Structures are given as structure tokens and as C-alpha cells.
Amino acid sequence: MTSARLSGRTAVVTGGAVGIGQVLAQKLASEGARVAILDISDAEETVDLIVEAGGRASAHRVDLTDPAAVSSVVDAVADSVGSPDILVNNAGIYPPIPWDEITLEVWRQVFAVNVESMLHTMQAFTPAMRERRWGRVINISSSSVGLVIPDLVPYIASKMAVIGLTRGAATELAAEGITVNSIGPSLVKTPTGTSPAHLYDIVPQLQAIKRAEEPEDLAGAVAFLASDDAAFLTAQNLWVDGGLLRS
């Protein structure tokens, strides 16, 4: 571990088995936090990477769309790494679908994973933060809400809802020492990415920084928002998108 900015803190990262979430979990651990990874998939690889680097982590398989399942894992997280001070809601799905093929089933699935899961985790983990009068919640939104890419209506709508949820929760929890912010990335390049391949050529050319965004580009912003350095920053959506939405 190379830094202690989050020493003594415990963080929960959802969707941390692979991709962006895995990198975010590693970053928080490198800053001194103990990390619990919540994912519907096996996240032991992320735990191993953190432990090999000298950190402490645990993995918990859970369906984040099920509020009872999320509530049931709270004690397991506390027993393994401690009661969380930091919650990073990263889990999400990104299903490209043409307008004429959008069904209510698809719409509800996207909102269940991308929005409702955040509500479930916030309701499950913020009570302990409220008792300590210190907490950080960081939700991953998306710059697609400003760019509006075709065939992504359910996803774009869900990520706009994330920004609204963030602002509302920030207002509700501010008096109890909890900040709530969101981060809007550009199109992030990951090994498990499901975005249409041509977008990785188009989107970077629309950015001020003309290269594909990497998960590591988000990690520093997440660590900042999780720290005491961001104590007076809440109800904000921070665009970490290489200047994509600069106009």
C-alpha cells in the first residue's frame, strides 16, 4: 500500500469483480481503506489482488437488485472488514437496444440494476455512517446523459436518475455528516466492456483529451471524494470525461 489517506476507513464497492469496479477497489485499498466487494459474480480475484499488494479485502456475492439480500450482507461486511464509512455504487449494466425494441422488461431491468440497487445499498449502509456522523457515498453516473448516444435510451435515463438520486440523498444526509456525490465518466475502456466497438473510435475524438478513458482515470476522483479532502463537497456530479461535455 502506497498511501494512508483512507487509513482506518472501510469501503464497500459494488460491481467490483472486474473492470472499473475492480480498479476502484484496488485504488481505495492502496489509499489505506479496508474494502468489501459486493457483486453478483465471484470477486475473489479482486480480493487476491488487494491482499497481494498488502491490503485487506473481502468478497460478498449478492444480488444488488434484491433489497433483502443487500440488507442480509451488512453484518457479513462488518464482520470481515468493519462497518463501512465509504460506499461506491459502481454496479451497472449497459445494454444497447434500438428504440423500437425497448420493452418494459428491459426498462425495468436496467433501472433495477443501475438505480434501485444504489438505493438499496445506501439504505443498508448509511445507518452506521449516520451513527458515526461521517460517511461518503459515491455513485457512478455517465456522460452519456449529455452526449446522448443512439440505442441507449434506458441506460441514459437510468444514469440521469442516478444524478437525481445523488442530489436528493445528499440533501437528506448532509446534516449527519455524510456527503453524496456522483461521477460521470466518458466511455471507459475495459476488457469486459459491452459498448459497440465503433464508439471507442468516435467518442475519444469528441473529448478534449483525445484518448480512450481508462478505469484508472476514475480512480483518483473516487479516492478524493472518499477522503476528508472532499468534506465540503456534496450533491455534485463530477464529470471525469476528458472534457467530453465541456461545451
- 8 Å CB contact between 26 and 48: no
Cell of 146: 449529455
User: Is 155 one of the catalytic residues?
Assistant: yes
Q: What angle do CA 24, 121, 40 make, to 5 degrees?
A: 65
Catalytically annotated residue among 155, 169, 234, 238: 155
Give the SS3 label for residue 12: strand
**DSSP E strands, 141-185:** 178-185
Cβ partners under 8 Å of residue 135, min gap 6: 85, 86, 87, 126, 129, 173, 176, 177, 178, 179
Active site positions, annotated: 155
